[in-house]
Amino acid sequence: MSEVTSTDLYEVTMALSYLREDMRAPATFSLFVRDLPPGRGFLVAAGLEAVLDHLSRYRVGRADIEEFAEVLRRPVADLEPLRGLSFDGEVRAVPEGRLVFAGEPLLEVTAPLPQAQLVETQLLSLVAHQTAVASKAARCVLAGAGRPLVDFSLRRAYGPEAGLRVARLCALVGFAGTSNVAAARRWGIPAAGTMAHSYVQAFPSEEAAFRAFARTHPGPVTFLVDTYDTDRGVATAARVFADLGLGTGCGIRLDSGDLAAQAGRARAALDAAGLAEVRIIASGGLDEYAVDRLVREGAPIDAYAVGTKLGTSADAPYLDMAYKLVEYDGRPVMKLSSAKATAPGPKQVFRGPGLRDVIGLANEEPPEGTEPLLRTVMRGGLRTDPPDTPAAARARFEADLAALPEEARRITDPVPPPPTASTRLTVLTKVVRHRVEAGTGTAGRRPVTE
């Protein structure tokens, strides 16, 4: 399947019309989240690397226009103006790993109007999914309060490619490992895994299963102890560890039931057997809410494996993300629809202490004590820098997280710090609104001053 044809039909029909009308002047589109989902005090910017990869290889070929023509039931010749179109524009974006809030552009695309329009669907898909998952993973890290977390989401992810991205995003915000073999190899993430209940069931007893597993894998092993009776499973695991002289680096995994109570009994049993170094790992439908509760209860759990609810961002499975035209041919534009109004003009986000952000115009000077978040990452359709590294993104994430106000870090009922608009952006918005409402639909090209 072509990445070019993996788009919404109206992107094609609009772009074709723009070309027919010779509307090829530069257009700027801004991609942002209108409102944070309930239960979110922040978002983690993610998906930019995938966006730049996509734009770098974007080109409409003969096979693409043939597909467009077939879907539109029109002659291929009608779609010929699209043939050969590639992306040679500019992208300004918030680097991956930085925390962002509602209304702030995560990226802005400036390119000839048909190009900037055609890439909308893919950009929204790439950024929305990855930002939602990275934000969920970041909250799991907060809930874990320093305990290692492992990504177990692949089997419930929305396809193998989504699973790869989830593993990368988890590593970006501080997860210790992933069960995803392909992701471990591609991204250099430590691989982690134990055994399934089916493995234990395949043997005549738990003890036979544990001993067989240890024979095959002589290094540190983790036994799944709740296939039948958890307390007996723990006792069996302890006996096998002791008999084989195993301990350091080994663990048991609890996957169901009252994890806090079971972990307490398991810890006592392991300690009594002289196996204080054996870790307890918990899994089974966990998310940041469950991890936070277990940590607050003082459950003696050393590490958490998080899967389904993480990979699907279950409590907030989508973001109200938009990609809106803010300037065409030097003319700032805006949308006035009820509850969906947009602000005109290319923008910048200026970050101050405590992640107090000011959304301003791209060409204005930063307010004192702030730094601009969006930087140019593509010019002329080419990356301005080598691909970003997960380590660099993680460093940015950790720095922003450390500066995030406590009320926004809360797992339950967080309160995000609200961005404010600069004076110049406020003035421009009023001017453009007035002219649109007056029926002109244009705000001219003169610079707006305070």
User: Which CATH number covers residue 205?
Assistant: 3.20.20.70
Q: Are residues 212 and 305 in the same domain?
A: yes
- Model pLDDT for residues 399-435, shown as the tens digit of each residue: 999 999 999 999 999 999 999 999 999 999 999 999 8
Residue 67 lies in a domain: yes
Q: How many helices (H) and strands (E) does the chain have?
A: 16, 19
94-102 average pLDDT score? 98
Residue 444 lies in a domain: no
Q: Are residues 176 and 307 in the same domain?
A: yes
101-124 average pLDDT score? 97
Q: Are residues 119 and 181 in the same domain?
A: no
Domain count, the chain: 2
How do beta strands 149-151 and 177-178 pair? parallel
Residue 448 lies in a domain: no
Q: Are residues 35 and 127 in the same domain?
A: yes
**Can you give the pLDDT at residue 95?**
98
Q: Are residues 307 and 323 in the same domain?
A: no
Q: How far apart are the first and last CA of the chain?
A: 50
Q: Are residues 152 and 224 in the same domain?
A: yes
Residue 443 lies in a domain: no
* Nearest CA among 25, 30, 146, 22 for reference residue 81: 22
Contact 311, 166 (CB under 8 A): yes
- Model pLDDT for residues 185-198, shown as the tens digit of each residue: 998 999 998 899 99
Domain of 271 in residue numbering reads as 142-311
Residue 114 lies in a domain: yes
Q: Are residues 111 and 180 in the same domain?
A: no
CA 358 – CA 439 distance, rounded (Å): 30
Distances (CA, A) of 438 to 135, 435, 441: 41, 5, 8
Residue 2 lies in a domain: no
**Of 266, 289, 311, the domain-final residue:** 311
- Model pLDDT for residues 199-251, shown as the tens digit of each residue: 999 999 999 999 999 999 988 999 999 999 999 999 999 999 999 999 899 99
- Model pLDDT for residues 252-310, shown as the tens digit of each residue: 999 999 999 999 999 999 999 999 999 999 999 999 999 999 999 999 999 999 999 99
Q: Are residues 425 and 330 in the same domain?
A: yes
Q: Are residues 245 and 291 in the same domain?
A: yes
CA 65 – CA 59 distance, rounded (Å): 11
Residue 306 lies in a domain: yes
Q: Are residues 263 and 147 in the same domain?
A: yes
- Model pLDDT for residues 344-397, shown as the tens digit of each residue: 999 999 999 999 999 999 999 999 999 999 999 999 999 999 999 889 999 999
Q: Are residues 92 and 161 in the same domain?
A: no
CA 270 – CA 280 distance, rounded (Å): 10
**Of 285, 311, 337, the domain-final residue:** 311
At 325 the three-state DSSP class reads strand
* Nearest CA among 131, 168, 178 for reference residue 391: 168
pLDDT beyond 90 at 448 = no
**Can you give the pLDDT at residue 218?**
82
**Of 290, 311, 332, the domain-final residue:** 311
- In this structure, the dihedral spanned by the alpha carbons of residues 309, 311, 315 and 317, taken in order and rounded to 10 degrees, is -150
Query: Quick count: other Cβ atoms within 10 Å of Cβ 73?
Result: 6
Q: Are residues 328 and 414 in the same domain?
A: yes
pTM: 0.93
